[in-house]
């Protein structure tokens, strides 16, 4: 990466929080000052202030054996106690913890006292089934309260959960169970998705069919009531919970006790089991949830739309919000079931005040048109969050105008499964926000943008995003593979100038620093193209394409090109309302000219393909690798992680017809 990423987008709009919002916000500029003055002292203060420690810690960080960090090592806490019992003991037992909304419209309000009682029983069931501290429990559930209850029950007894997204196949489930040697699987008969019942238990049965796994029991939640096959190892959740004592006392565990493993796909090889531990993870989760979103636990209704199968669901549905005593919505289904206004209806119903979602969802709603959200009362919203991908300025502006009534701060939060919690983001009560930029490291986090030699790139330039100091919620390793942990994240800058003061964490993302020092994420580095020696970001060209009124969604890839090295190839979804207006050829000519005009001739796509849908993973990330296969005329590679595996067939057959 010696050449500089050509920074082609110029965004000058800025939005400060309203004076009233800023005045009522808890976060103050002292947070940054304190963290700069004494970073470790700052995190120690946060850990003491935000959490209950059964045994106070005396050491903040042990970084004597990098990259293996230990935070608050001699302290002891119970993660579930922090998320439950202490709120009840403080007199907040009647506060609603979860407003559960099932897809078919069934709903349930669960208070902190009720949630605590359920988790205690579930913990007693786990103990009865012989689950001990450090044992791994696989959780394969829909977005129902039992998913949250299971995670907290596992945490309460010091065991380790591995949540596997309900959309994954039996094969993926089996490989994750085997990698972690799980002793128990918690699942359900099925769940509701897109207006239909979708079965879960058959996948567990298939995964365990060969009989040689580490799993001793499966605990089955009855959600849909559909028929299920029954094996010797199977137990009904409701029977077991009814059969145990209601009381369970939370005992403390060391701060570095493993809390969970979460599998995430790397660029190569089998998924990596990212390991997180207790005290540091909960500290940063609670801190960021409180300060990024300006949470007021007594009055806010918070809703994070992520599934608990992803890191966002772990940190910002379960641990952060519950540690902070928040009231939140938990929604089982999809945004368009039974109608396309479902999310807005939920916001109106519960008077949701903080919404945290992904750019891909926002762009889907843009495609459907603003008349849908405009049918609902969204005035309760006061903070909007974005996560998962770069959010292009067009989508950012739409989110603010149409959903946020031109008033709400938007926080674009950059982080990863590996970082455990938000790393780069505005603080909604403090920061003047810029559409499209994730902006600044949160207090206590040190980020830099470096070139390949580990040199700081300087304002106005692009390079690679690194974290320069260990942070509380950082991954503690890859389950069972310390070598891969080092290679993947820590070897990249070894021996460079930048690394002279200690190892640097390589995030795998490209980023640009603007002249204010704000950070713009440019997508994974494998998504950065090199066209005629110019570095172009897929995100930047996509953003330009989406800014055109014809375009709903766009994905850009760099395809091998004899003359230019790589060439820009774009796949574009046209807005429904515009689809009939012009021929594909006209549209593609128009859009090519538009990009050339907006960014420069160098960025003009060599080809633009109009498609009906883009290939996305179940977590909503565009799989550019597959589009690159198409653009380069190859057989399309492994599509098993796509949400809809047929999408690629449709796209590929379209290309052949051309």
Binding site for ligand 6R9 (CB under 6 A): 264, 310-312, 387-390, 412-417, 438, 507-509, 521, 524, 619
* C-alpha dihedral sign at 533, 534, 539, 544: negative
Please indicate if the annotation marks 592 as binding a ligand: no
- How large is the C-alpha radius of gyration of the chain? 24
Please indicate if the annotation marks 228 as binding a ligand: no
- Of residues 272 and 604, the one with the C-beta less far from ligand 6R9: 272
Please indicate if the annotation marks 412 as binding a ligand: yes
CB distance 273 to 485 below 8 Å: no
Please indicate if the annotation marks 218 as binding a ligand: no
- Of residues 310 and 344, the one with the C-beta less far from ligand 6R9: 310
- Of residues 159 and 521, the one with the C-beta less far from ligand 6R9: 521
CB of 310 to ligand 6R9, least distance (A): 6
- Of residues 381 and 424, the one with the C-beta less far from ligand 6R9: 424
Q: Two tokens at 424? A: 């780069």
- Beta strand extents in 502-636 (DSSP E only): 505-513, 519-524, 528-531, 534-537, 551-561, 565-574, 607-610
CB distance 11 to 436 below 8 Å: yes
CB of 527 to ligand 6R9, least distance (A): 8
- Of residues 331 and 415, the one with the C-beta less far from ligand 6R9: 415
Please indicate if the annotation marks 495 as binding a ligand: no
Longest CA pairwise span in the chain (Å): 72
Please indicate if the annotation marks 546 as binding a ligand: yes
- Of residues 17 and 523, the one with the C-beta less far from ligand 6R9: 523
Please indicate if the annotation marks 600 as binding a ligand: no
CB distance 301 to 380 below 8 Å: yes
CB of 329 to ligand 6R9, least distance (A): 19
- Of residues 388 and 444, the one with the C-beta less far from ligand 6R9: 388
Q: Are strands 160-163 and 258-264 parallel, antiparallel or unpaired?
A: parallel
CB of 158 to ligand 6R9, least distance (A): 25
CB of 388 to ligand 6R9, least distance (A): 4
What is the rounded distance in angstroms from the CA atom of residue 351 to the CA atom of residue 367?
25
All residues at 6 or more sequence positions from 213 whose CB lies less than 8 Å from its CB, including other chains:
174, 177, 178, 207
What is the rounded distance in angstroms from the CA atom of residue 520 to the CA atom of residue 434?
10
All residues at 6 or more sequence positions from 64 whose CB lies less than 8 Å from its CB, including other chains:
none
Nearest to 322 by CA among 25, 134, 49, 50: 50
CB of 436 to ligand 6R9, least distance (A): 9
Please indicate if the annotation marks 17 as binding a ligand: no
CB of 264 to ligand 6R9, least distance (A): 5
The alpha carbon of residue 64 and the mean position of all alpha carbons in its chain are separated, in whole angstroms, by: 30
What is the rounded distance in angstroms from the CA atom of residue 398 to the CA atom of residue 533?
34
Please indicate if the annotation marks 212 as binding a ligand: no
Please indicate if the annotation marks 277 as binding a ligand: no
- Of residues 82 and 537, the one with the C-beta less far from ligand 6R9: 537
CB of 513 to ligand 6R9, least distance (A): 15
Q: How many CB atoms lie within 10 A of CB 575?
A: 17
The alpha carbon of residue 376 and the mean position of all alpha carbons in its chain are separated, in whole angstroms, by: 27
* C-alpha dihedral sign at 152, 164, 277, 109: negative
Annotated binding site for ATP: 388-390, 412-417, 509, 524, 535
Annotated binding site for CoA: 193-196, 312, 532
Annotated binding site: 193-196, 312, 388-390, 412-417, 509, 524, 532, 535, 546, 548
């Amino acid at each position: 990466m010696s050449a500089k990423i050509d920074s082609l987008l110029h965004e000058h709009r800025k939005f400060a929080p309203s004076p009233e919002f800023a005045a009522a916000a808890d976060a103050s500029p002292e947070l940054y000052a304190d963290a700069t003055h004494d970073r470790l002292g700052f995190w120690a203060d946060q850990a003491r202030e935000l959490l209950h420690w059964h045994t106070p810690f005396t050491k903040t960080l042990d970084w004597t054996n990098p990259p293996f960090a230990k935070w608050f090592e001699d302290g002891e806490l119970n993660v579930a106690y922090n998320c439950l019992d202490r709120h009840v003991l403080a007199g907040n037992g009647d506060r609603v913890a979860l407003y559960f909304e099932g897809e078919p419209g069934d709903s349930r309000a669960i208070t902190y006292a009720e949630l605590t009682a359920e988790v205690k029983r579930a913990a007693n069931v786990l103990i009865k089934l012989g689950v001990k501290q450090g044992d791994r429990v696989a959780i394969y559930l829909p977005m129902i309260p039992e998913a949250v209850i299971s995670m907290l029950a596992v945490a309460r007894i010091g065991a380790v959960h591995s949540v596997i997204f309900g959309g994954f196949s039996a094969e993926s489930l089996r490989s994750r169970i085997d990698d972690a040697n799980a002793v128990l699987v918690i699942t359900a008969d099925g769940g509701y998705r897109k207006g239909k019942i979708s079965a879960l238990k058959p996948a567990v049965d298939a995964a365990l069919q060969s009989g040689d796994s580490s799993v001793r029991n499966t605990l089955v939640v009855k959600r849909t009531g559909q028929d299920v096959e029954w094996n010797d190892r199977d137990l009904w959740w409701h029977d077991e919970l009814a059969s145990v004592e209601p009381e369970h006392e939370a005992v403390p565990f060391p701060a570095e006790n493993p809390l969970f493993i979460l599998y995430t796909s790397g660029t190569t090889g089998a998924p990596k089991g990212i390991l997180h531990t207790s005290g540091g993870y909960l500290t940063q989760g609670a801190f960021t949830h409180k300060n990024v979103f300006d949470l007021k636990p007594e009055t806010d209704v918070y809703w994070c739309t992520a599934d608990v199968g992803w890191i966002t669901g772990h940190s910002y549905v379960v641990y952060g919000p519950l540690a902070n005593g928040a009231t939140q919505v938990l929604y089982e289904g999809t945004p368009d079931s039974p109608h396309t206004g479902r999310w807005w209806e939920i916001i109106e119903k519960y008077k949701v005040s903080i919404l945290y979602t992904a750019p891909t969802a926002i762009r889907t709603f843009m495609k459907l048109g603003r008349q849908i959200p405009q049918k609902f009362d969204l005035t309760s919203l006061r903070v909007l969050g974005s996560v998962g991908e770069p959010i292009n300025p067009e989508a950012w502006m739409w989110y603010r105008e149409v959903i946020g009534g031109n008033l709400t701060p938007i926080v674009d939060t950059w982080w990863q499964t590996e970082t455990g919690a938000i790393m780069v983001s505005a603080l909604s009560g403090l920061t003047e926000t810029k559409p499209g930029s994730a902006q600044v490291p949160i207090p206590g986090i040190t980020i830099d943008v470096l070139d390949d030699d580990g040199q700081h790139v300087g304002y106005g330039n692009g390079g690679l995003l690194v974290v320069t100091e260990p942070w509380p919620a950082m991954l503690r390793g890859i389950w069972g593979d310390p070598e891969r942990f080092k290679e993947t994240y820590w070897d990249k800058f070894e021996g460079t100038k930048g690394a002279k003061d200690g190892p640097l964490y390589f995030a795998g993302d490209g980023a640009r620093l603007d002249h204010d020092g704000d950070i713009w994420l440019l997508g994974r580095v494998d998504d950065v193209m090199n066209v005629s020696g110019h570095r172009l970001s897929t995100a930047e060209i996509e953003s330009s394409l989406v800014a055109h009124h014809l375009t709903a969604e766009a994905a850009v890839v760099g395809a091998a090109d004899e003359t230019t090295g790589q060439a820009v190839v774009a796949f574009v979804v046209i807005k429904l309302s515009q689809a009939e207006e012009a021929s594909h050829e006209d549209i593609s000519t128009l859009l090519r000219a538009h990009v050339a005009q907006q960014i420069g001739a160098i960025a003009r796509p060599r080809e633009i393909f109009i498609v009906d849908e883009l290939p996305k993973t179940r977590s909503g990330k565009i799989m550019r690798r597959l589009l690159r296969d198409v653009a380069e005329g190859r057989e399309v590679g492994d599509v098993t992680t796509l949400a809809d595996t047929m999408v690629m067939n449709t796209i590929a057959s379209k290309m052949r017809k051309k």
